[in-house]
């Protein structure tokens, strides 16, 4: 055997990990990723369903590859970008509500489908979910409704825009509009079991869907896309659905759309109007595809906007804070 110099021998020893450590390199999956915060009296928990790479050169419309790359580079990103799939648990009185349920099994192994793990980490069982608010009937938002062909949330009422329920459950609309057939097939697999069980409450117009949460319909990305605003003790959060897919591009350039937008013009107008409104209001928003937890504020920035993620917090709310006040600077010992 070739003799190693002592330094190399030492490095070689370091590079001989134990069997369990050898599993680690390359693994960047998170462990039941959750993020909890309060809105008034209500506890909201962001749940990661995983992330999925998206080729923004192929998917975005209204900006060329160089413009996309330049905007991504400003955020130290490149295409394909990593899109989060975020869902949210809202615990309010005797209700346990999910806003969207992730992709379930629809994106295949390793992409999405982690919501049940995150939900378990948050200490909630699927059968304890009382209501599900679907922002829109797309695979990565309603796909997690079923597992192995069965309703994963057997006791939940599913609220979704009536226009989405009608549109996506009728396969004839795929041929009529040219919109991707896949969405119709997947809606039939995941939403229809709840329709047949009498568990879907379609939303026809803006209204309170559960006490403390108001739905607004904003057709564009899909015909029945909804925002849900939770209010508690004068505080609010708006669950916005898919008004943003590529934060690094669409905040600075809100006119850029994505091929998933069923009505490109309306989707663009909804985004522009919503971003302007949320920036003016200083609204807290929760967005499914912005980097987990996807919770933050929007600030106007030149002709576009900037995303400001929520300040991270990880402590008990009502504890006595340690005294971290400044002490006199010690005299130099020189």
CB of 94 to Zn ion, least distance (A): 30
Of 49 and 140, the one with the shorter C-beta distance to Zn ion is 140
Of 92 and 286, the one with the shorter C-beta distance to Zn ion is 286
Residue 139 DSSP SS3? helix
**Environment class of 240 (CB within 10 Å of its CB; exposed 0-12, middle 13-18, buried 19+):** buried
Q: Residue 140 and residue 226: Cα distance in Å, rounded?
A: 15
Of 59 and 152, the one with the shorter C-beta distance to Zn ion is 59
CA distances from 137 to 51, 168, 237 (A): 19, 7, 21
CB of 119 to Zn ion, least distance (A): 19
Of 81 and 92, the one with the shorter C-beta distance to Zn ion is 81
Q: Residue 146 and residue 195: Cα distance in Å, rounded?
A: 13
Of 86 and 232, the one with the shorter C-beta distance to Zn ion is 86
Comparing CA positions, the residue from 128, 122, 183, 123 lying closest to residue 152 is 128
Q: Residue 126 and residue 154: Cα distance in Å, rounded?
A: 8
CB of 172 to Zn ion, least distance (A): 24
On whether the CB atoms of residues 286 and 278 are closer than 8 A, the answer is no
CB of 78 to Zn ion, least distance (A): 21
Q: Residue 34 and residue 115: Cα distance in Å, rounded?
A: 10
CB of 241 to Zn ion, least distance (A): 8
Q: Residue 193 and residue 247: Cα distance in Å, rounded?
A: 34
CB of 25 to Zn ion, least distance (A): 31
Strand partners, 249: none
Of 140 and 186, the one with the shorter C-beta distance to Zn ion is 140
* Cis peptide bond N-terminal to 58, omega within 30: no
CB of 85 to Zn ion, least distance (A): 7
**Environment class of 231 (CB within 10 Å of its CB; exposed 0-12, middle 13-18, buried 19+):** middle
Of 142 and 232, the one with the shorter C-beta distance to Zn ion is 142
CB of 121 to Zn ion, least distance (A): 22
Residue 155 CA from chain centroid, whole number: 23
On whether the CB atoms of residues 238 and 227 are closer than 8 A, the answer is yes
On whether the CB atoms of residues 39 and 81 are closer than 8 A, the answer is no
Binding site for Zn ion (CB under 5 A): 140, 242
Strand partners, 208: 214
Of 212 and 224, the one with the shorter C-beta distance to Zn ion is 224
CB of 289 to Zn ion, least distance (A): 6
Q: Residue holding tokens 């304890």? A: 128
Of 186 and 242, the one with the shorter C-beta distance to Zn ion is 242
Residue 219 DSSP SS3? coil
């Amino acid at each position: 055997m070739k003799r190693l110099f002592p330094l190399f021998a030492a490095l070689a020893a370091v590079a001989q990990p134990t069997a369990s450590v050898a599993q680690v390199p390359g693994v960047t999956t998170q462990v039941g990723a959750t993020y909890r915060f309060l809105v008034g009296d209500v506890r909201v928990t962001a749940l990661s369903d995983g992330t999925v790479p998206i080729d923004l050169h192929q998917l975005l419309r209204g900006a060329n590859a160089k413009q996309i790359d330049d905007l991504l580079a400003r955020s130290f990103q490149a295409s394909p970008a990593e899109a989060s799939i975020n869902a949210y648990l809202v615990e309010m009185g005797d209700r346990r509500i999910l806003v969207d349920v992730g992709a379930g099994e629809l994106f295949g192994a390793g992409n999405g489908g982690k919501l049940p793990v995150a939900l378990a980490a948050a200490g909630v069982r699927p059968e304890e979910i009382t209501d599900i608010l679907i922002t829109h009937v797309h695979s990565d938002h309603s796909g997690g409704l079923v597992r192995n062909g069965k309703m994963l949330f057997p006791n939940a009422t599913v609220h979704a825009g009536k226009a989405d329920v009608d549109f996506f459950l009728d396969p004839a609309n795929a041929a009529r509009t040219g919109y991707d057939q896949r969405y119709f097939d997947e809606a039939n697999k995941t939403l229809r079991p709840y329709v047949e069980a009498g568990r879907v409450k379609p939303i026809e117009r803006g209204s309170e869907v559960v006490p403390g949460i108001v739905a607004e319909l904003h057709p564009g990305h899909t015909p029945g896309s909804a925002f849900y605003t939770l209010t508690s003790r004068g505080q609010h959060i708006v669950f916005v659905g898919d008004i943003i897919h590529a934060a690094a591009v669409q905040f600075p350039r809100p006119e850029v759309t994505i091929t998933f937008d069923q009505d490109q013009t309306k989707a663009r107008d909804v985004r522009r109007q919503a971003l302007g409104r949320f920036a003016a209001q200083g609204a807290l928003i929760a967005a499914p595809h912005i980097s987990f937890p996807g919770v933050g504020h929007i600030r106007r920035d030149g002709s576009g906007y900037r995303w400001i993620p929520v300040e991270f917090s990880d402590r008990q709310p009502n504890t006595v804070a340690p005294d971290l006040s400044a002490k006199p600077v010690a005299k130099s010992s020189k």
